[in-house]
């Protein structure tokens, strides 16, 4: 979980993606079975004055909607924009 009081959303989004992939990569070592990888869920509470990206909750995940559902995704990032609660 990460709480941001200010910052540029796109920079935050890239940094959080890095954290997610780092957490996924740390689950296994060379030669391990990739099927033992577990999904990583990340929640970021974002208190931003800019309205460009605002919704109450935004979800990001790796999805292939044509052949799979979200159960195959290894990462799920949820942004909760606190200004939308006011």
pLDDT digits (tens, 9 = 90+) for 46-76: 776 666 666 777 777 766 555 555 567 888 8
Domain ranges of the chain: 2-26+38-84
**Chain position carrying tokens 């208190």:** 47
Q: What is the pTM of this model?
A: 0.67
Do residues 76 and 16 make contact, with C-beta atoms less than 8 angstroms apart?
A: no
pLDDT for the residue numbered 29: 92
pLDDT for the residue numbered 68: 56
Query: Would you state the structure tokens that stand for residue 1, as one six-digit string?
Result: 């979980």
63-71: which pairs have CB atoms within 8 A and are 24 or more residues apart? none
pLDDT confidence bin for 1, thresholds 50/70/90: low
For residue 27, pLDDT over 90 is answered with yes
Do residues 40 and 26 make contact, with C-beta atoms less than 8 angstroms apart?
A: no
């Amino acid at each position: 979980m990460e709480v941001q009081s200010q910052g540029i959303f796109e920079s935050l989004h890239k940094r959080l993606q890095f954290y997610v992939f780092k957490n996924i990569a740390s689950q296994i070592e060379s030669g391990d079975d990739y099927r033992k990888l577990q999904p990583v869920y990340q929640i970021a509470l974002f208190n931003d004055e800019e309205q460009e990206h605002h919704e109450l909750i935004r979800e990001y995940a790796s999805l292939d909607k044509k052949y799979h559902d979200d159960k195959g995704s290894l990462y799920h990032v949820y942004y909760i924009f606190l200004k939308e609660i006011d």
